[in-house]
Amino acid sequence: MSRRVDVPLVGAMVVVGETLIDVLPAGADLGVRELPGGSPANVAVTLGRLGRGPVLVTTLADDARGAAARDWLAASDVTVVAQPPATGRTSTAAVRLAADGSATYDFDLTWDLSPGTLARATSTGGVAALHAGSIATVLDPGAATLEAALREARGRALVTFDPNARPAITPHVARVLPRVERLVGLSDVVKASDEDLGWYHPGADPVEVARTWTASGPVLVVITRGADGSMLVRGDDVVTVPGVPVTVADTIGAGDTFMGALIDALVGLGAHGPTAREALAALSGEELRWAGTRAASAAAITVSRPGADPPTPAEIDAVARATG
C-alpha cells in the first residue's frame, strides 16, 4: 500500500544544474547517437514523469542540440528556465560504455548560470523543494550562484544535493571537497554513490562518512551501491534497502532516476517547505525503507533500457508488485 500523504505543495519543485547532450556510440559502423541528458536534467525528467511538474534552471544554447533538449524536457512536463552559455553551444558529454554497461564521460561543458536567471524561477510563488547536483555544484562561475541559492533555500524548502563526483571535470579532489562539504551542510537530504564517497574520502567507511555528514547539516544521507542496493543513514539509524535484480542495458541516468524518485517519495511523505527537516526527522524506519525501495525500483527500470529513460508511476508500481 502506498504511504504517500501528498500534503499540498506550497511553491515549486525546482532543479538547478546542467543540461547536455550525451553522444553515445551507436554500434559498429553506425557512428554515434545523441540523447539529451545531464544529471540535474535527468532528475527533473524523473520528477516530471512522476507528476511533480518541476522547474529546471539550466543553460541551453539556441542551437539544434538545445532545441532537442527543450523538446525532451517539455515531453516530461518540465518547465525550463534557461540562459545561453557564453560559448554559444549546448554542452555535450561523449559517453564510453564498458562491457558491463557502466558509463564514463568526456565533457565539453560551460556552467555560467547567473543569479538573475535563477531568480526568474524562484521569485514567484516560492519554492517547496530545491535540488542541485553534479557538475553545476563545483564548476565556476555558476557554482557560486548555485551555492547562494542553497543557502537562501535552507529552512524554507526541502533542499537536496547529489555531489555526483566527476573527476574528468574536477580531477583534484582537494580543490572541490571544501565546496562539496559546504553544500552538504546546507542540505536536508544528500544522495551519494559509494564510488562518489570513495573518491571524496578514499578508504573511509561510507556509513561513517554519511554519519559525519549528517552531523554537519543534512537530516538524511543516502548511499547507493548499484546492484547491492542502498543505505539510508539518519544519525545512528541505518536503513538498508536491497537492490532490484535487473538485466542491465546501461547505467546512464540510474543515479539521477534514484534521486528524482527519492525526492518524489519524501515529498509525498510530507517533507517539503519550511517544515521539511522536521518531517524527515519524524519519518519511521518503515517509511524510509519504502522511500528507498521506490527509488531503487525506479532506478532498476532505467538501467533496464538504453539511455536516461526514467519510469512512470505505473511502471514503478508494477516493479513493486513483482518484487513483493
pLDDT 10s digits, 15-38: 999 999 988 776 655 567 888 999
pLDDT of residue 7: 61
The tens digit of pLDDT for each residue in 92-146 reads 988 777 777 676 778 888 899 999 998 888 776 689 999 999 999 999 999 999 9
Look at residue 149 in the predicted model and tell me its pLDDT: 94
Which residues does 125 contact at the CB level (< 8 Å), separation at least 6? 11, 12
For residue 238, what pLDDT is reported? Answer: 96
- Distance (Å, rounded) from C-alpha 285 to C-alpha 282? 9
- Total Cβ atoms within 10 A of residue 274: 14
- H/E element holding 16? strand 12-16
Full set of structural domains in the chain with CATH: 12-323 (3.40.1190.20)
The answer to whether the CB of 221 falls within 8 A of the CB of 192 is yes
CB contact at 8 A, 272 and 128: yes
Sign of the torsion formed by the C-alpha atoms of 105, 110, 116 and 120:
negative
Q: How confident is the model at residue 210 (pLDDT cuts 50, 70, 90)?
A: very high
Cell of 78: 518540465
* Torsion of the alpha carbons at 83, 87, 92 and 94, rounded to the nearest 10: -170
Structure confidence at residue 166 (pLDDT): 81
3 state DSSP class of 186: helix
pLDDT tens, residue by residue, 304-316? 988 788 999 999 9
For residue 1, name the pLDDT band (cuts at 50, 70, 90): very low
Give me the pLDDT at residue 31, please. Answer: 67
pTM for this structure?
Answer: 0.93
